[in-house]
Structure 1
Amino acid sequence: MTQPIALLDGPLWPYLALMLFAVLPTEIWRWLAVGFARGLAADSPLLEWVRAVATALLAGIVAKLMVSPPGALAHAPLFIRVAALATSAAVMAISRRRMMLAVLSGEVVLIGGVWLFGAV
């Protein structure tokens, strides 16, 4: 019988599997996109289309999470989820698109709302 590969037998094998099956397939496409986008102008019609598609996909994901959320978020009432989204959007508009501040404010509203109303 052959001996297992030393890297796959120790406690670090999940990290190796994560690198092989999650990080590398994603990073390949990112680096290819960087290579192809090098010659494109920032305001080209192709990049405007890509931004529009990315925005539409993100809006679809957010809408799905609002309407039928998975896991523990499903126990939060709809009005709390909508309030958290509205708070994040307002903070983004007011704070000159500071993403971290918007995410944290939405989380505070979501967690505070669930805590206050005892929904979970």
Structure 2
Amino acid sequence: MTQPLITQPIPWLDGPFWPFLALLLFAVLPTEIWRWLAVAFSRRLDANSPALEWVRAVATALLAGIVAKLIVAPPGALAAVPLALRVGALAVTLGIMLFDRRRVMLAVLAGEAALIGGAYWLLTP
């Protein structure tokens, strides 16, 4: 009876760097190729075309749906925060965005601070 053929280990793969190589091969490269192709093809697109307006509308709707789900049915530790506080933090964020649309980071940080500060104040004994 003959021995089954077993693939011999590859020395440079069989070590502490294998997880990093696997991450590169199976996570980074499959997504990066699409990003580079998008950059290559986007140079020929008109920024005001109906197709890109549709893409922006879909992206905005998806983001709004995710935010709504996080407020109405939050996962994990956010579920312990009262609904009124979650809605209040969203109101802080939207208030800053309505006041000055160019300060997105300030709006996000202020809403986050309102949420974390309010949760700390309400939930700490």
Place the TM-score, normalised by the shorter chain, in its bin: 0.7 to 0.9
| C-alpha displacement of 1:98 | 2.0
Letter of the 2:58 counterpart:
V
The corresponding residue for 1:90 is 95
**Quick one: which of 41, 55, 65 aligns to 1:36?**
41
Structure 1: gaps of 5 or more residues: none
| C-alpha displacement of 1:88 | 1.2
Q: How does 1:109-120 map to 2 (within 5 A)?
A: 109-118=114-123
Structure 2: gaps of 5 or more residues: 1-5
Does residue 56 of structure 2 align to residue 51 of structure 1?
A: yes
- Whether the aligned pair in 2 keeps the contact of 1:81 and 1:110 (CA below 8 Å) is yes
Does residue 111 of structure 2 align to residue 106 of structure 1?
A: yes
Higher relative CO (CA 8 A, sep ≥ 6), structure 1 or 2? 1
Q: Hey, which of these two has a bigger chunk of helix by percent?
A: 1
- Whether the aligned pair in 2 keeps the contact of 1:68 and 1:74 (CA below 8 Å) is yes
Deviations 1:23-75 (A, max 9, x none): 22222222111122111111111110110011111111111111111111111
| C-alpha displacement of 1:7 | 4.7
Letter of the 1:24 counterpart:
L
Q: Would the alpha carbon gap of residues 46 and 118 (structure 1) be closer, same or farther in structure 2, given more than 3 Å must change?
A: same
Letter of the 2:12 counterpart:
A
Does residue 83 of structure 2 align to residue 78 of structure 1?
A: yes
Letter of the 1:84 counterpart:
A
For the pair shown, the structure with the greater C-alpha radius of gyration is 2
Aligned length: 119
TM-score by length of 1: 0.84
Partners of 1:25 and 1:18 in 2: how far apart? 10
Aligned-residue RMSD, C-alpha = 2.2
TM-score by length of 2: 0.81
| C-alpha displacement of 1:8 | 5.0
| C-alpha displacement of 1:4 | 5.4
